[in-house]
Amino acid sequence: MKKLINHPAAVVEEMLEGFVAAHSRYVRQLPHNKRSIVSTNTVRPGKVGVICGGGSGHEPSFLGLIGKGMVDGVPVGNIFASPPPDPILEVTRAVDAGAGVIYLYGNYAGDCMNFDMAAELAGMEGIRVETVRITDDVASAPKSEEDRRRGIAGDFLVFKVAGAAADQGYSLDEVVRVTSKANQVTRTMGVALSPCFNPQTGRPSFELGPDEMEIGLGIHGEPGVQKGKIKPADEVAGELLDRILADMPLSRGDRAVVLVNGLGSTTYMELFIMYRRTAQILAEKGVEIHRSYVGEYVTSLEMGGCSITLMKVDDELARLMDHPADCPMFVQM
């Protein structure tokens, strides 16, 4: 393991210090809890507060998405670990502007427990909180058990919809409705080529041979669904899309938003090669690409590999995806 860090136990705090210093126009740390990061300019009376969060190590998610048209605050956990209830509650108080708050996070046991606890505490203070758990990972559970699926790179697209809806003045109930709709039509499949190393343990998140890849492996190193020899990019893209489209069929004339997401150490050259084949396959099926995103949005430290996400959009979702956003690590005009 080679990393540019100081002490392993200090990586999260030092990252936050650097992030806030670099992006002080967008974000600030709350004084009572340094793990509570909120927007400097998006909270306004009558606007629904949007909070996303989870463990560190997935940058630019979640911190980089604080800003106009996206989220208002992020409670920060340890590497690959949920934030505890205290910073979640602290962020909730800071972003509540009288219209309620929505919690958005991947469907992991620790996040569910801690965010639910914070929501209960917020309710005791008179703050209404609603929750949408992201469940886009096709590999993590069968279609008949979608509520057990994990949230991975599709988080970004669902956060985008929620942030746009809140920015456009949707009520809390309406933000929940449209965010739930977005989650229901978002699917992701990933492929891993190499592990990441947690700086606090120095251990790899999983093991693969030098000529192996694994389909469906989770962003924390959770087991995938198929391990084998590495294949050409076109074949890998085809396999990922086959699994997505078997789970959420798209017909000629349908529209989709496409995200090809790097997991941490995959070059943009490789990501664009993967997008190239993805676009070809969708064109062959008569599916229109409404918007495309290629890059690192939800990473796993320095894991090698990528994921493909499709969101099937109607007019409402397309309009919300087109809404401008301005965040430290994502700008859409």
CA gap 84, 317 in Å, rounded: 32
Classify the C-alpha dihedral 175-177-181-183 as positive or negative. positive
- Please enumerate in sequence order all residues whose Cβ is within 8 A of that of 128, keeping only pairs 6 or more positions apart, or say none: 100, 101, 172
- Could you give the C-alpha distances from 242 to 73, 135, 187, 229, 320, in angstroms and in order? 36, 18, 12, 18, 27
Going by DSSP bridges, is the β-strand pair 129-134/101-106 parallel, antiparallel, or unpaired? parallel
Of the candidates 280, 278, 285, the residue with the CA atom closest to the CA atom of residue 252: 285
Between CA 88 and CA 105 the distance in angstroms is 12
Helical (H) or strand (E) element with 92:
helix 85-95
Catalytic residue among 7, 32, 220, 290: 220
Query: What is d(CA 231, CA 225) in angstroms, rounded to the nearest whole number?
Result: 16
| Catalytic residue status for 220 | yes
User: Which is catalytic among the residues 7, 32, 58, 323?
Assistant: 58
Helix, strand, coil: what percent of the chain each, to 5? 35, 30, 35
Q: Active site includes 290?
A: no
What sign results for the dihedral spanned by CA atoms 254, 216, 293, 55? Answer: positive
- What 3-state DSSP class applies to 294? strand
Does residue 35 contact residue 16 with C-beta atoms inside 8 Å? yes
Nearest CA to 140 out of 195, 79, 215 is that of: 215
Task: Give the CA distances from residue 315 to residues 184, 251, 255, 282, in Å, rounded to whole numbers and listed in that order.
Answer: 16, 16, 9, 19
Catalytic machinery residues: 58, 220
